[in-house]
Amino acid sequence: MTTAVGAARRGTSAGAVLQVFYRVPRAGAVRLSDGGGPLGFDITAALQIDHLIGAYDCDGIVETGCFVGDSTEYFARRYPHLPVRTCDIDADATAVASHRLADLTNVTVETGDSAQLLPQLLSGLSRPLVYLDAHWYSSWPLARELHTVTRGLIVVDDFDIGHPRFGYDAYDQVVCGPQLVADARADLDRMWVGNPYADYPLPCLQTGRRAGRGFLTVGLPPGPLDDSPMFTPIPLRPVVMPDWSAVEALGKERR
């Protein structure tokens, strides 16, 4: 791909993201520390995911932990050609999500334990994007969710990327980070995290909490993650966190 063609395609993709992203109501503000909105109101996360959905030609989106459906609505409106299947353990939250998304025929909302629901949500999909965000209650399902996915592109929200600007979750002193992935998936020797210093075509307007995100592939080639500056690899055996000062310097050299 030539530089000019690549830039044109990135511009088209960014425009499509922008057209939808800021039109989604931030209903999650009723409880979420980041003020709600799709993907924590971080448009760089939307750009990362948009690149991967196109590069992998994903045939569906599966989300866990939808709460009241901010990210779900974004996914459904940005990708109307894809089935969007989501769930939450909170029946009140899924009732709100189901009501607000009732006019979007590509959305399915389920209530229950995400790890138990994942086989149903993943059924019939060969290249799904699996967005794991069921991080709230004491019974944290992430390790079980990671075990359950046998093929797909996995995105883990609230992930420790080793950068002070980006928050992450921890439960019972277990950090949502690369070591958890290494322990849960013995078959994987590396993963990726979002690169804060990539040259994104749109600025992030989230001035509050930003969440890190981890990316891993199961049964799919790593090329789209390796080839994009939006992602930084992390070896898992042993885990070595990124040297962000070096990544920042390299990014400045490339611009």
Over residues 225-237, the pLDDT tens digits come to 999 999 999 999 9
Q: What is the pTM of this model?
A: 0.94
- Evaluate the CA torsion angle 80, 83, 84, 88 in order and state its sign: positive
Say if residue 63 is exposed, middle or buried (CB neighbours under 10 Å; 0-12, 13-18, 19+): buried
pLDDT digits (tens, 9 = 90+) for 113-141: 999 999 999 999 999 999 999 987 778 99
* Packing angle, helices 43-55 and 70-78, rounded to 10: 40
Between CA 85 and CA 96 the distance in angstroms is 15
Between CA 117 and CA 115 the distance in angstroms is 6
State the chain's mean pLDDT as an integer.
Answer: 94
For domain 3-254, the CATH class is alpha beta
Instruction: Kindly indicate the confidence band of residue 249, based on its pLDDT and cuts at 50, 70 and 90.
Output: confident
Between CA 85 and CA 198 the distance in angstroms is 30
CA atoms within 13 A on the CB side of 122: 23
* CB distance 133 to 125 below 8 Å: no
The predicted pLDDT at position 64 comes to 98
